[in-house]
Structure 1
Amino acid sequence: MTEEISAIQASSRRELRQLVRSQLQLLLEQGNLEGAKALLIPVQPVDIAEAIEGLPESMQVIAFRLLAKDEAIAVYEHLDSAVQQSLVQQFKHQEVLDIVDKMSPDDRVRLFDELPAKIVRRLLSQLSPGERQATALLLGYGEATAGRIMTPEYISLKETLTVAQTLERIRSLAKTSEIVYYLYVTDASRHLTGIVSLRDLVIASPEKTLGEIMTRDVVFVHTDTDQEEVARMIQRYDLLALPVVDREQRLVGVVTVDDVIDILEQEATEDIYALGGLQSDGDNYFQTNLITVARKRVVWLFVLLITNTVTGTIIKSQESVLERMAILAAFIPLLVGTGGNVGAQSSTVVIRGLNTEEIRDLGMGQVIFREALAGGLLGLILGAIATLWAYGLQGNVFVAVSVGVSLVAIAILASISGSALPFLFHSLGLDPALMSAPFITTAVDVLGVLIYFYIARIILGI
């Protein structure tokens, strides 16, 4: 089995994960615990975590208990929060305490954020004094801030140390630090004064002091900085870690790039769900029970249901027009559907621009004007095609022109709505991704139908 895994490792990590998951479940079903334990020995912790997540819930705790203590801690940190909670409830108390006490503080805080308050208080009170203090420190900061996601496990040094002394100190502290690629220089009051990369340290002369080789222009964030801004700064400056200081500029922790990757994935997932009218609380969607899934999805579907009712009422109010030219009704889905797609495109690029700050220098007015021009251009292209298609379908040039002109107007309306509404909701402190989609649909459906019938009345003389 080990040889088979090694062969697959060379070809595809995905195939490896699939093999481990299927073989692990088969061995557990057969009751072959020794075989299952041997199977997991050469596998990376993150792949073991994914394999355990794919097992039936009754097998997850069995598979986890096959791991050695040190490996179990690494695997546990990679597990989905829902699986972590499930295992906590099934473990014996001492097992839970052994794992939680050895976790890094930032990973432990993420777990505590998902657990019931009663369990968190009990676990917190039984941690070792040092780990309890570190965890309480992080829990004291606001959610989704740099202080909440940072780790206090870093190496800080004084600038009077020589390179040789620093290397010796790194050897003694490396096991208690989450990152050694950057070394932070502080003064007697723990104020951050400089930074030294491991590369600079290795190539410097042993007798030089840190004060001579350190960089004094340090990029840092404060404990109350939003985690998305932290992620953007690490991305912008190509850092592996970012120091975090308090209001007095004292170094209190660092945010590492692996945590930032998790944040970016989480924020991107929330935005994608929100664009589809889904409320996300960070849980794995496919591991959430159906009642919760329905509750998350029903809100905006209900809003859209009401919108469609209003649209239907407007169409009913135009019975006199439809009685004289019934073919007009055939083009309503085409017009509002195309308008909805144009609006969704505009809102997507604007929301993405707001998140990445790509449109920060353009300003709201310029962005909306640009999208309105784009909508007009798209409307002309699509309108010309729709006019030809409507004429071929009906043979009435006036109906065809009504459809084409309406499509141009609706495309412009949709582009303006799609670009303006995200700015509006952003200024109100609301989530643009979650709020924009249903309101864009409302604007396009209701106003689009009104525009269509108004233009048709003018051109057809009804």
Structure 2
Amino acid sequence: MQSRSRQELQDLVREQLRVLLEQKNFQGAKALLVPVQVADIAESIGGLPEATQAIAFRLLSKEEAIEVFEYLDPTVQQTLLEDFKRQDVREIVDYMSPDDRARLFDELPAKVVRRLLEQLSPAERDATALLLGYEPNTAGRIMTPEYLSLKENITITQALAQIRSLANLRETIYYIYVTDDARRLTGILSLRDLILAQAEQTIGSIMTRDVVFVNTGTDQEEVARTIQHYDFVAIPVVDAEQRLVGIVTVDDVLDILEQETTEDIYTLGGVESGGDNYFQTNLFTVARKRVVWLFVLLITNSATAAVITNQEDILEKVVALTAFIPLLIGTGGNVGAQSSTVVIRGLNTEDIRPSEALSIVKREALASLLLGGMLGSVVVVWAYFLQGNFAVALAVGISLFSICVLASIAGSALPFLFRAMKLDPALMSAPFITTAVDVLGVLIYLNVARLILGL
């Protein structure tokens, strides 16, 4: 109930903001946004017509505008940057967190990125160039260099003084990292540990030396899983020489998990994932992203047509068999999709491992025997009720049972196969499962019918 009322409030603010801007009541619009949270302001601005987004954004104070800008969708950020004057752009982009700035630059054309880099202050330019130098989708690319580090020989009193002076310039102060003179990571402690320690104690005497960290080249999905596994607020990132170069915070991890989940869902549906907001992408791009696998399925489904053509004689003799082909291949496709979905999800979350392939496929096969038995029994009764021919009904039931087993084995085995071939299981499994179920399902059905009917 709470989330629903909050969403209703956001919708109300967005609608009121739109009306006030259309009426050119800028003072009213500005007053409307004063008590609203930064993230909600960003959502409200993102939901406005493109022509009024820049107007609404300019109503914010400079400090608030910088905060709101980081929460905006990349496509909205690009639209606003095109509308800003050079000085406005410099101030907003220069004050962004380095990791958020790098994420924005990833979405912009190279020419625009070069121009924006030239406008940054030397320190921010160096910080951004450092992140952009790492491979996309790695810990180095998504980390922030704004972390707190101390030396282990200083006292708690000295440490607290340093933290007070630096806290406003750092993304988080809940974890404090300890480094040696060469910037190598040697320990970690929490702000809680620091507060509870005695003033005369040294950092080295209370820090934890067994530090969980990731490397700059670690895949961002693995970073997210590590933070999730240990329930961290942030995780340190080190380079090849074990020097501390940045941290990845939990807010970035949430974005990564959402991005990865979105990509997986798009891929399962046979839609090419490009990282853009699908519903803000132009129609030609949408068509291009969806047409590839539709063409693949169109071509492969011609094999089903070839099987049916080759078995025309039995269909001509028993026309009733034709009516059940969509039911059989549709049910088989659903069973295969269920099996592949749970396996792909298990592989992505590491709940199952490639070494467990045989046991997983065996488990899915046993489950399909139960499913096929239940569905086959029901469809025999249903087919007899529709056609009044027990031989046809029995052929449909046995075929459905066989197709369920086939689809479940294919659906659970193919993701493992494609993972072993270094291919994306989510992208490759769907069309191959569809083809296998359609072609082999029809082949099984018509041959079972031929056997039972004695044709």
| TM-score (normalised: structure 2) | 0.98
Q: How does 1:87-126 map to 2 (within 5 A)?
A: 87-126=80-119
CA gap of 1:52–1:121, structure 2 versus 1, over 3 A, is: same
The match for 1:178 is 171
The match for 2:42 is 49
Deviates more, 1:109-118 or 1:384-393: 384-393
The match for 1:137 is 130
CA gap of 1:188–1:348, structure 2 versus 1, over 3 A, is: same
The match for 1:213 is 206
The match for 2:405 is 412
The match for 1:5 is none
Q: Secondary structure at the match of 1:42?
A: coil
The match for 2:67 is 74
Counterpart of 2:286 (choices 293, 298, 303) is 293
Letter in 2 for 1:138: L
The match for 1:3 is none
Q: Does 1:450 find its partner at 2:443?
A: yes
Instruction: Report the alpha carbon displacement of residue 395 of structure 1 after superposing the two structures with TM.
Output: 2.5
Counterpart of 2:427 (choices 434, 442, 448) is 434
Instruction: Report the alpha carbon displacement of residue 11 of structure 1 after superposing the two structures with TM.
Output: 8.6
Letter in 2 for 1:391: Y
Instruction: Report the alpha carbon displacement of residue 361 of structure 1 after superposing the two structures with TM.
Output: 7.7
Letter in 2 for 1:91: F
Asked if the contact 1:418–1:436 (Cα under 8 Å) also holds between the matched residues in 2, the reply is: yes
Q: Does 1:225 find its partner at 2:218?
A: yes
Q: Secondary structure at the match of 2:351?
A: coil
Q: Secondary structure at the match of 2:236?
A: strand
Asked if the contact 1:194–1:215 (Cα under 8 Å) also holds between the matched residues in 2, the reply is: yes
Asked if the contact 1:346–1:415 (Cα under 8 Å) also holds between the matched residues in 2, the reply is: yes
Instruction: Report the alpha carbon displacement of residue 308 of structure 1 after superposing the two structures with TM.
Output: 3.0
Letter in 2 for 1:415: S
The match for 2:18 is 25
The match for 2:5 is 12
Instruction: Report the alpha carbon displacement of residue 417 of structure 1 after superposing the two structures with TM.
Output: 1.1
Instruction: Report the alpha carbon displacement of residue 429 of structure 1 after superposing the two structures with TM.
Output: 2.3
Instruction: Report the alpha carbon displacement of residue 317 of structure 1 after superposing the two structures with TM.
Output: 1.6
Letter in 1 for 2:132: L
Asked if the contact 2:156–2:194 (Cα under 8 Å) also holds between the matched residues in 1, the reply is: yes
Asked if the contact 2:365–2:405 (Cα under 8 Å) also holds between the matched residues in 1, the reply is: yes
Equivalents in 2 of 1:52, 1:427: separation in Å? Answer: 45
Q: Does 1:258 find its partner at 2:251?
A: yes
Q: How does 1:395-406 map to 2 (within 5 A)?
A: 395-406=388-399
Instruction: Report the alpha carbon displacement of residue 304 of structure 1 after superposing the two structures with TM.
Output: 2.0
Equivalents in 2 of 1:197, 1:402: separation in Å? Answer: 68
Deviates more, 1:365-374 or 1:178-187: 365-374
The match for 2:31 is 38
Counterpart of 1:369 (choices 359, 362, 369) is 362
Equivalents in 2 of 1:331, 1:12: separation in Å? Answer: 47
Aligned residues: 455
Q: Secondary structure at the match of 1:218?
A: coil
Asked if the contact 1:221–1:243 (Cα under 8 Å) also holds between the matched residues in 2, the reply is: yes
Asked if the contact 1:192–1:250 (Cα under 8 Å) also holds between the matched residues in 2, the reply is: yes
Equivalents in 2 of 1:266, 1:126: separation in Å? Answer: 30
The match for 1:422 is 415
| TM-score (normalised: structure 1) | 0.96
Letter in 1 for 2:26: L
Asked if the contact 2:21–2:52 (Cα under 8 Å) also holds between the matched residues in 1, the reply is: yes
CA gap of 1:243–1:144, structure 2 versus 1, over 3 A, is: same
The match for 2:191 is 198
Instruction: Report the alpha carbon displacement of residue 292 of structure 1 after superposing the two structures with TM.
Output: 1.1
Equivalents in 1 of 2:183, 2:354: separation in Å? Answer: 37
Asked if the contact 2:354–2:416 (Cα under 8 Å) also holds between the matched residues in 1, the reply is: no
Q: How does 1:316-327 map to 2 (within 5 A)?
A: 316-327=309-320
The match for 2:231 is 238
Q: What CA deviation, in whole Å up to 9, does each residue of 1:51-71 have, x standing for no partner?
A: 111111110011111111111
Equivalents in 2 of 1:446, 1:10: separation in Å? Answer: 47
Equivalents in 1 of 2:420, 2:252: separation in Å? Answer: 28
Asked if the contact 2:105–2:113 (Cα under 8 Å) also holds between the matched residues in 1, the reply is: yes
Letter in 1 for 2:358: G
Q: What CA deviation, in whole Å up to 9, does each residue of 1:325-378 have, x standing for no partner?
A: 111111111110000000000010001001000012861111111111112221
Counterpart of 2:337 (choices 344, 352, 365) is 344
Equivalents in 2 of 1:418, 1:369: separation in Å? Answer: 12
Asked if the contact 1:9–1:16 (Cα under 8 Å) also holds between the matched residues in 2, the reply is: no
Q: What CA deviation, in whole Å up to 9, does each residue of 1:427-452 have, x standing for no partner?
A: 22222112211111111111110111
List alignment gaps of at least 5 residues for structure 2: none
List alignment gaps of at least 5 residues for structure 1: 1-7
Q: Does 1:159 find its partner at 2:152?
A: yes
Q: Secondary structure at the match of 2:237?
A: strand
Letter in 2 for 1:98: E
Q: What CA deviation, in whole Å up to 9, does each residue of 1:239-286 have, x standing for no partner?
A: 000000001111000000000000000111111111111111111111
Instruction: Report the alpha carbon displacement of residue 403 of structure 1 after superposing the two structures with TM.
Output: 1.0
Q: How does 1:358-397 map to 2 (within 5 A)?
A: 358-360=351-353, 363-397=356-390
Equivalents in 2 of 1:390, 1:13: separation in Å? Answer: 50
Letter in 1 for 2:363: R
Q: Secondary structure at the match of 2:301?
A: helix
The match for 1:4 is none
